[in-house]
Structure 1
């Protein structure tokens, strides 16, 4: 649900679609300060090592994955939270079907 003043989802699990293969991303909110993207990964799928131009927050909603932040390979599952600065190398590999929310923090230098 969306209104001029807010965006609301009662259950992000219901906003994702089960996948046999691949990765699906869907922007669920965007304004001049933030962009929220819901990712659904099929088991075994991976976002290979990359960087983001803005600070970001990752919130894992469901599933199990390996989250690489810089040189560290970390377990991620429902409830895992990670914050990372712009430019940090990172990757995600889903071990099971996984749902993750990415929040990009745009224009942080104009606070």
Structure 2
């Protein structure tokens, strides 16, 4: 088995000047790791996921809505979300966010 590592997560994605980009940086039968880059003002509207997930804000600041809770998130904010939790994100500044989808976890 080989390890997968990134010494600088933020360097793995280029934040667009207007828009959002996502890049899968790792995937196996149990886990999918997706790195997002959001331009300031961009958002992912409310949605749910069929599996549990974790969010980690690597750089920037954003407003996260997690069910009925609103959280102002900055660098190194970490969130665990159970499956089916309605959530959204609005980037207040350029944001780099790591999303970990836990396949099979409900």
Query: TM tier, shorter chain?
Result: over 0.9
RMSD: 1.0
C-alpha deviation, 1:19, in angstroms: 1.4
Find runs of 4+ consecutive structure 1 residues off by over 3 angstroms: none
C-alpha deviation, 1:6, in angstroms: 1.7
C-alpha deviation, 1:55, in angstroms: 0.1
TM-score between the two structures when normalised by the length of structure 2: 0.96
Alpha-carbon distance between aligned partners in 2 of 1:87 and 1:5, rounded to the nearest angstrom? 33
Counterpart contact for 2:15–2:96, Cα < 8 Å: no
C-alpha deviation, 1:5, in angstroms: 2.2
Alpha-carbon distance between aligned partners in 2 of 1:40 and 1:20, rounded to the nearest angstrom? 10
Alpha-carbon distance between aligned partners in 1 of 2:2 and 2:28, rounded to the nearest angstrom? 11
Alpha-carbon distance between aligned partners in 1 of 2:35 and 2:53, rounded to the nearest angstrom? 13
TM-score between the two structures when normalised by the length of structure 1: 0.92
Larger Rg, first or second structure (1 or 2):
1
Structure 1 residue runs of 5 or longer lacking an equivalent are none
Alignment partner, residue 83 of structure 1 = 80
Alignment partner, residue 27 of structure 2 = 30
Structure 2 counterpart of 1:73, from 70, 73, 78: 70
Alpha-carbon distance between aligned partners in 1 of 2:35 and 2:2, rounded to the nearest angstrom? 20
SS in 1 for 2:37: strand
C-alpha deviation, 1:57, in angstroms: 0.3
Structure 2 residue runs of 5 or longer lacking an equivalent are none
Cα-to-partner distance string for 1:12-54 (whole Å, 9 max, x where unaligned): 1111103110000000000000000000000000000000000
Alpha-carbon distance between aligned partners in 1 of 2:86 and 2:7, rounded to the nearest angstrom? 32
Residues paired across the two proteins, number: 106
